[in-house]
């Protein structure tokens, strides 16, 4: 679940890169930044499935305070720097001692195929710092408008050979989710927060979520619900078979820390 301000910033940088004519001069470097982490919970067992990394300033301020100081020319380099920082900060916070949990890092699809961003460098950096690639999940926004799958898919497939998992973030909010699902064949999808919230009063959204969950079950894809804020939301999703959930109901993002989770749910009963 990427911060909304981060998503808007990414789209603005993409627009500028498509329309601007840069002289080649660099107006400044990448500002210093850090990370916050939010857990993804298995509501059937109470265990933590993984953590999503979120950009923050060095003092813990919002992502906007960092993104507003990243020059457009450094957009792709910043994308790679975020992955590196997420891994190193997670290790510092004790991630390697948390068992089989996973770390979800955001990847902009277009930045990923740029030499300055280079996903392969992330692999090398992970090996250098002792981060296990089989515990790394790359979250790609479901937004076909900015995707170049012909270039991206071979890079993603190469990553998978090392054990890295691929997730489609904000699934259900983009341009052509099912088409991307069939072509990219992700290991994980994260249901869009707006779709999860719409289930409260909209039967159409409930039917859509049920169909997505069923399709993912048959394809062997893990489904995660984003933006879970209440007990009744967690229960409804659980009863639909979505046992992996993320949101304020379980924990808010913790700055430079891996938050613990405390919640009560009845014994899981599906079917």
How far is the CA of 15 from the CAs of 69, 107, 111, 189, 229, in angstroms?
17, 17, 13, 26, 33
Q: What are 32-86's pLDDT values in tens digits? A: 999 999 999 999 888 999 999 999 999 999 888 888 888 888 878 888 899 999 9
Neighbours of 221 (CB within 10 A): 19
DSSP state of 266: P
- What pLDDT is attached to residue 76? 80
56 forms beta bridges with 34
Residue with more model confidence, 254 or 44:
254
Element (H, E) at 136: strand 136-141
- In this structure, what DSSP letter does residue 227 have? -
Strand partners, 35: 55
Whole-number pLDDT of residue 147? 61
Higher pLDDT, 30 or 15: 30
The confidence score (pLDDT) of residue 16 equals 53
Q: Which of 108, 128, 127 is nearest to 118 (CA)?
A: 108
The pLDDT value recorded for residue 18 is 46
> Residue 86: enclosing H or E segment and its boundaries?
helix 75-92
3-state secondary structure 137-166: EEEEECCHHHCCHHHHHHHHHHHHCCCCEE
Domains of the chain: 4-15+29-250 (3.20.20.450)
- With beta carbons less than 8 A apart as the criterion, state whether 200 and 229 touch: no
pLDDT for residue 150:
79
Confidence band of 26 (pLDDT split at 50, 70, 90): very low
């Amino acid at each position: 679940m990427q911060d909304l301000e981060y998503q808007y910033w990414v789209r603005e940088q993409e627009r500028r890169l498509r329309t601007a004519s840069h002289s080649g001069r660099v107006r400044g470097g990448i500002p210093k930044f850090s990370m916050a982490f939010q857990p993804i919970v298995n509501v059937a067992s109470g265990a933590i499935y993984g953590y999503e990394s979120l950009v923050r300033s060095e003092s813990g301020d919002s992502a906007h305070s960092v993104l507003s100081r990243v020059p457009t020319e450094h957009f792709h380099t910043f994308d790679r720097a975020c992955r590196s920082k997420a891994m190193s900060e997670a290790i510092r916070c004790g991630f390697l001692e948390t068992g089989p949990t996973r770390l979800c890092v955001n990847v902009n699809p277009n930045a990923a195929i740029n030499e300055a961003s280079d996903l392969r460098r992330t692999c090398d950096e992970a090996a250098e710092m002792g981060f296990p690639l089989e515990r790394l999940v790359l979250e790609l926004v479901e937004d076909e408008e900015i995707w170049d799958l012909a270039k991206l898919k071979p890079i993603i497939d190469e990553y998978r050979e090392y054990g890295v998992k691929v997730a489609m973030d904000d699934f259900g909010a983009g341009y052509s989710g099912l088409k991307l699902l069939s072509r990219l064949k992700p290991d994980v999808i994260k249901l869009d927060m707006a779709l999860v919230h719409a289930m409260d009063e909209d039967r159409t959204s409930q039917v859509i979520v049920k169909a997505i969950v069923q399709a993912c079950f048959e394809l062997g894809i893990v489904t995660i619900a984003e933006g879970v804020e209440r007990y009744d939301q967690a229960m409804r999703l659980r009863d639909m078979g979505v046992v992996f959930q993320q949101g304020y109901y379980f924990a808010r993002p913790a700055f430079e820390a891996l938050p613990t989770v405390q919640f009560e749910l009845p014994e899981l009963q599906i079917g």
